Structure 1
Amino acid sequence: MSDMSLPAIILILATFFAAGAVKGVTGMGLPTVAMGVLGALISPLTAAGLLIVPSFVTNLWQLLAGPALRPVLRRFWPMMLAICAGTVPGAAWLAGGDAGVARTLLGAALVIYAGYSLLARQLSVPSRMEPVLSLVIGGLTGMVSGATGVFVIPAVPYLQALGLSKDDLVQALGLSFTVSTVALALALGAHGAFSAGLMGLSLLALGPALVGMWAGQKLRSRISLATFRKVFLGFLLLLGAEMALRPVL
């Protein structure tokens, strides 16, 4: 924390306020926005460490606020274990990999997520395939989140394809994001990439994230959610494309 300038810290806090506002409006997006913006400006490894506390607290809040925690846990615990298992090799690569390559992979993950969300048709997963697919999707989600700090690919499209009720979907997403955050924190810590100074700044970022989330919830009833979603995904698409193509531009 001591090696960061005051303007850099202000930018980080402003980013988490904006990321919290997006989560307040849409119910998701805090780690994605934080990694997208900060990963374009600083090391993706540092950005991943910064999102740990805000992501954990806001997603745990989302998880515990739902009406059916036990059924969601019973249904998705194999997927959560697979997320943890997949995060370990992904985080090892992020902790020891080249920052430029990590930024390119992060950009690609943002492009894939935003492009899918904007263009793809809603999928449907047959119930007989869920036990196997949950393990596969969980493992892939863990590897992607460990390597990029983005928790949404492919967990979000998969959970949306299961035909869950709105409340169950929000709670399942909260569970997936919470587990992904904890797994990433433990994996980065095991590789010595989550220092006390980074933890302090991550804790400081929690305040703006919670204020932004509150503001986003207030804003939700005053704006078109569909329009906001398109603008948000369009922003992620452009940001991700710039990050992915930066080495060749």
Structure 2
Amino acid sequence: MDAYSLNEILVALLVVAFAGAVHGTFGLGFPMVATPVLALLTDVQTAILLTLAPNIAVNLWSMLRGGNLGASIGRFWFVAVWMLAGSAVGTLILVALDPNPFRLLLALVIVLYLLGDRLTQVDWNGIRRYPRASGAGAGLLGGLLGGTVNVGGPALMVYFLEMRVPALVVVQAINLAFLLGKSTQAVTFAALGALTPALLLVSLPLGVFALAGLRAGMWLSDRFSAEAYRHWLRGLLWLLAGLLVVQFLRDL
């Protein structure tokens, strides 16, 4: 989709602002919210292309916020490197194949994320016993999912939660991984000729609105309980996953 109506642009602006607010409130979550909504309007590949600039902007700001960045990077830089490699491969897969099945894959990833609390029943001790190997696996899987459906967070969250590191380190390390992954994806799309001028003209202003939403979310996170908001957000994600499955079946 190289041309966009005014209504589509306005919807996209509202979506990224809301997704930015979610990211600002919880420290992550922008692609989890923005990608499925925009994929309902276009397709997964176009949704990823439109959110490249917003993703990079919110990841960079979130990574730099909170201080002590050097310690977080020094401990988990290798996860980000594997995320970079996975993102490049995932982007190549996305460009080469029909984008419609990725709607279903995105819905499945969202469901996995929503059911993540049940993963605590599984024995994940191997992650702490082999932090380098498991971190490489989490980064590679997160990159592949990020490259294909723009949602690599669940794989990284399982790893970092099981490593039991402080919340600030989790946010900084994951946003570093996302930043490298999205930057690699942008370069890969550009090399393949998929990053058109029309997409760039829309994506860059979306980045500004995403940052505005991010700042609002940071302000909200300091003043309101996030529990009710998180519950509402989970309900929205369940709805989006269902709609993506319906669209996948419709376009078969």
Cα distance in 2 for partners of 1:2, 1:136 equals: 36
- 5 Å matches for 1:106-117? 106-117=106-117
1:91–1:147 Cα contact (<8 Å) kept: yes
Aligned twin of 2:90: 90
* Cross-structure match for 2:43: 43
- Equivalence for 2:203: 202
Cα distance in structure 2, aligned partners of 1:152 and 1:25: 16
Matches within 5 A, 1:116-155: 116-117=116-117, 119-121=118-120, 127-155=128-156
1:108-166 residue CA offsets vs partner (Å, 9 max, x unmatched)? 1111112215x443866653310110111111111111111113130122112211112
Report the 3-state secondary structure (helix = DSSP H, G, I; strand = E; otherwise coil) of the residue aligned with 1:67.
coil
1:230 alignment counterpart: 231
Distance 1:245 1:27, change over 3 A: same
The DSSP-based 3-state class of the residue aligned with 1:99 is: coil
Superposition pairs of residues 1-16 of structure 1, within 5 angstroms = 3-16=3-16
Letter in 1 for 2:31: P
Q: Percent identity?
A: 30
Partners of 1:58 and 1:51 lie apart in 2 by 10
CA apart distance, 1:245: 4.5
Provide TM-score, normalisation by structure 2: 0.90
Distance 1:111 1:165 in 2: 26
C-alpha separation in 2, matches of 1:153 and 1:192:
29
Q: Give the aligned partner of residue 70 of structure 1.
A: 70
Amino acid at match of 1:88: A
Query: Aligned partner of 1:82: which letter?
Result: W
5+ residue gaps, structure 2: none
**Aligned counterparts of 1:5 and 1:220: Cα–Cα separation in 2:** 34
Gapped regions of structure 1 (runs ≥ 5):
none
- Conserved? CA contact 1:35–1:47, under 8 Å: yes
TM-score, normalized by length of structure 1? 0.91
